[in-house]
Chain A
Amino acid sequence: MLIRRWPIKRRPTSRWFGGTLRRKLTFIYSALFGLIILMVAGAVYISIKINAERSVERELQSSVNAFERLWSLSAAHMESNADVLAADFGFREAVATEDIETIASAISNAQGRLEGQTVGVAFPDGRFVSADGTLSQLPDTAYQALLEQDRPSGVVRVDNKHFQSVAVPIRAPVLVGWAFFFSELDSVRMAELEKMSAIQIKAEIRNGDHASTDHDATFRTTEAIGASRQIKSFTGDEAVSLIITYPLDAAMAPYRPMMLAILLFSLFGAALLIFSGRLVARSVTRPIFALDKAVQALASGNRQPVDVPSDDEFGRLADSFNTMLGDLEAREASIVQMGREDSETGLANRRAMDDDLRTRMTMDGDASVRVVVIRVKRFRSVRAAIGHGAAAQALAVLARRISEFADGAAPYRISATDIGLILDAQNPFVRPEGLRRLIAACAQPAMIGDASVDLLLCSGIAEPEAGRGAPIGPVDQAVVAADFAESRQEPVSVFDLAEYGNPALTLSLMSEMLAAMTDGGLSLHYQPKFSLSENQISGFEALIRWEHPVRGRVFPDSFIPVAEETGHIRQLTEWVVTRAIEDQQTLRAKGFDLPISVNVSGRQMNDESFALWAIGKVKSSGAKLCFEITETAVINDPEKALRIINLFRSTGIAISIDDYGAGLSSLSYLKQIPANELKIDKSFILTLTEGRSDELMIKSTIDLAHAMGMSVVAEGVETEQVMALLRDMGADAAQGYHISRPKPLADMLELLGAAMRKRETA
């Protein structure tokens, strides 16, 4: 089965998303979950932070408000104390009369009564009396505040300490001074304020625009949240603020366990997800793995059903795959079936025969099998006459007859003309006589429709065991045997490995032959034809010689048939013709104008392009040539061959019938071929002296040839005696060792020269 692999361009996979589906799934799930966890944790953190900060801000705000209330309470308290002091008649008298000692004692008395408060008195001119009786001048700003405001109160700073202070006028009854009350805003005061808050705040008073003049401002630094509230200063033109801060750390502290819990849950969840993700991914990918494996197995030709027991999409996919696999098997079987059948006749075809034979030979061994091929001769003419369909029907009829006669052996149509059989070695029809009987029984005409079709049969037998060394298989061996039978006009032929030769060798032989044409390996020798009437050389036959550098002399019998089979004969013939014309010109130059005969294969007699080439060559050189052909030259296509022969004759190329009497010498062909010359085969001449019958036959052949207008050349003349006999019988010329062996052109020149000198002396 063939699976075509289209190259699929895959994207290069990255490290994270690459690899198996399982890893991808696990990674994507985990990454998504991680992201969600991160987002949730972030959202929780932010909301907690905002919440914490808000509640801290609220707390700070309320602390500031509390401080403000506390502040005004304290101010009111101090004011009322001051009022009490300022209203005292004795004190007023002391102030009015600037009785410093009395004033000081009254002040320290009041201080003793009011813990944590400092008391002082200012005179209208700005002098200030403190509890110890010392006099000092009030700072200008404070003095101005006294002059401008009836009862100033607020924060004053003395020696970098902050005091809450109030001043109330002392009238007796006119203004005689002011009673001052101070309360230091020391760490103790601040600590009181800090303690009032639910959270651990830090309170302080600062000068200057520290935070914001906005009344309700809260602010944030990197490590703390704070709230500030501007406090009225005593002088009214100083910026003093209460700053309350709360460390962010402390704000977040209560939420820390919760954050930790969220973090732990997230980590636990992520771990759980990765674990379960892997499980899910594995369960998802396992059937995919199985399918992947099965598909890969299918691609390499193994059909493995997939086992996915789940009833989800994967299960269905696996079922579909298995079903598809079954369909595929059935379809493939039908394709194989189609591949095994000859569509014209419905018979099993060559492929089927090869398969079956292989099976038989592996099962039973080569020795037990024989292959038989039965051929319908001239099937092409039959087919041309009755049409393809009818011809195929005729073949089918023949196959049926063969099968019936051969006890139901299965026939194969292995080519257009051939029916093949695989038979047991013991089968009687695998022996030539049995097969001959089979052919004879099946050869009666077949009725196709109304027409009767003649079936001329021949056959070949191959023994796989005997033909084991052959480069072709047993079926082809049987086909070759049938070829032999057909060409030999025999009904049966058995494949003979030796006879078949080795085509592997022939190919190299041919290439070597072509090389030899140019490198001098091939040469022409000449054998003279001796005119019996004129007693002198009347022509030459050109004979090819091949001196192979390795094989030594290669005889024409062993390479000319190969050249004919492989189609190299045309080149060889052209080479011979060209060389012969050249040599003839050499002879002419020496004064010997003699015809040269060249052997031309029967195939060339059907080759019009060769004929045209040869005619052109002869015309252009003015050569005197004779083409020696055998009777077989006209067997295949007599009309065409005769036309070409006539063409040669009309252009002055003589035709000689070679080897007459050796093969199938047919008088009808002899009558048809318009030859100039008949050469009697040397097998008759060599035995000429032994009996009368040959003598008679030769004599009558000579007479027949003369009667048909041909001159007669006798080959194989080896003795003077035979030559004399032939002369008596009326033969025109003799050729043979008695006259000369085939020799190079130089020897021929010498021979001619010698004969000429002899004649001149005679």
Chain B
Amino acid sequence: MLRPLRLFAAAATFLCLLTGPAFAEKVTFVVSDGAGKPVKDAVVMVAAGAGAPAVKFSWPLEMKQENLQFSPYVLIAPVGSDVKFPNLDKVRHHVYSFSKGNKFELKLYGKDESRSVKLEKAGIAAIGCNIHDTMVAYIRVVDTPYAAKTDADGNATLDLPADAKAATVWHPDALPAEVKVTLPAKRTAPVPVSLKVKSHAH
């Protein structure tokens, strides 16, 4: 029974790929600041159209506290997902966010304790620790599966439907914080994005 199921699934997937969004293709964005320096942790998002797959990401939805820092600095999380806040430090933390729609407060919790928060609204949640002012991190709550953040080389790759027209690129320390990028018709070449980034607290 399993086999035909699996086969069905595979067939379905294949169908999917063939029909509608079946013409997905990989698009690479290269984000740099004005001076050509690659920008890490920039979030590239493309709005989900009809027939878009469910919003689901390959990376763990957790915001660790390690060495009195949040990690990662930027986390992309789907709307309505639970994000875990494991404390790997010896000290206790008091994690909070006053961001609109995603306001929460995780009162003091200690080592190896974990809390989770359901993020209800697409947008930005700025995360801080009431005890340690220098601890800052951001969770980008998205309602699209087409979202990724740039690596150390400023590259981010998305599997985008052919009809995707534009992308939004955001970085917490950029000014302005986000820019819109129109996608070129020919998507074989990487898409360059320029963002002016202030040096952030780290």
Contact = CB atoms under 8 A, between A and B. Distances in A.
Interface of A: 87, 89, 92-93, 96-97, 171-174, 176
A97 B133 contact: no
Contacts of A96: 98-99
Contact of B172 (A89, A92, A97, A174): A174
Listed from nearest, the 3 A-B pairs whose CB atoms lie closest are A173-B128, A96-B98, A173-B136
B126 A172 contact: yes
B133 A174 contact: no
Contacts of B100: 97
Interface string B89-103: 000000010111001
Contacts of A176: 98
B194 interface: no
Contacts of B172: 174
Nearest to B134: A173
A577 to B, nearest CB: 160
B129 interface: yes
A173 B103 contact: no
Nearest to B138: A174
Nearest to A173: B128
Nearest to A93: B98
B130 interface: yes
A60 to B, nearest CB: 44
A97 B98 contact: yes
A176 B97 CA distance: 12
Nearest to A94: B98
A87 B129 CA distance: 12
Contacts of B103: 97
A201 B143 CA distance: 69
Contacts of A174: 126, 128, 136, 172
A173 B98 CA distance: 9
A171 B133 contact: yes
A176 B99 CA distance: 10
Interface in B109-137: 126-130, 133, 135-136
18 contacts: A87-B133, A89-B96, A93-B96, A96-B98, A97-B103, A171-B128, A172-B126, A172-B128, A173-B127, A173-B129, A173-B133, A173-B135, A173-B136, A173-B201, A174-B126, A174-B128, A174-B136, A176-B98
Which of B100, B127, B133, B172 counts the most A-chain CB atoms under 10 A from its CB? Answer: B133
Nearest to A92: B98
A108 to B, nearest CB: 22
A96 B130 CA distance: 13
Contacts of B136: 171, 173-174
Given A97-B100, A172-B126, 4 more contacts: A87-B133, A93-B98, A171-B128, A176-B98
Nearest to B137: A173
Contact of B126 (A87, A93, A173): A173
A87 B99 CA distance: 17
Nearest to A171: B133
B166 to A, nearest CB: 26
A173 B100 CA distance: 14
A89 B130 contact: yes
A172 B95 CA distance: 11
B97 to A, nearest CB: 9
Contacts of A172: 96, 98, 126, 128
Interface string B160-198: 000000000000100000000000000000000000000
A172 B129 CA distance: 9
A96 B135 CA distance: 17
Nearest to A174: B126
A173 B126 CA distance: 7
A89 B95 CA distance: 11
A97 B201 CA distance: 22
Best-buried of B96, B135, B172 by chain A (most CB within 10 Å):
B96
B175 to A, nearest CB: 10
Contacts of B135: 173
**Which of A92, A171, A173 is most buried by chain B, counting CB atoms within 10 A of its CB?**
A173
A97 B136 CA distance: 17
Contacts of A89: 96, 130
B62 to A, nearest CB: 19
B133 to A, nearest CB: 7
B103, B126, B127 pick with most chain A CB within 10 angstroms: B126
Nearest to A89: B130
A173 B135 CA distance: 8
Nearest to B200: A174
A714 to B, nearest CB: 183
A92 B105 CA distance: 13
Contacts of B96: 89, 93, 172
Contacts of B201: 173
Nearest to B127: A173
Contacts of A171: 128, 133, 136
Contacts of A97: 98, 100, 103
Nearest to B100: A97
Interface in B72-104: 96, 98-100, 103
A172 B130 CA distance: 8
A111 to B, nearest CB: 24
Nearest to B136: A173
A174 B100 CA distance: 13
Nearest to B126: A174
B174 to A, nearest CB: 13
A431 to B, nearest CB: 166
Nearest to B131: A89
A151 to B, nearest CB: 14
A87 B100 CA distance: 20
A87 B172 CA distance: 22
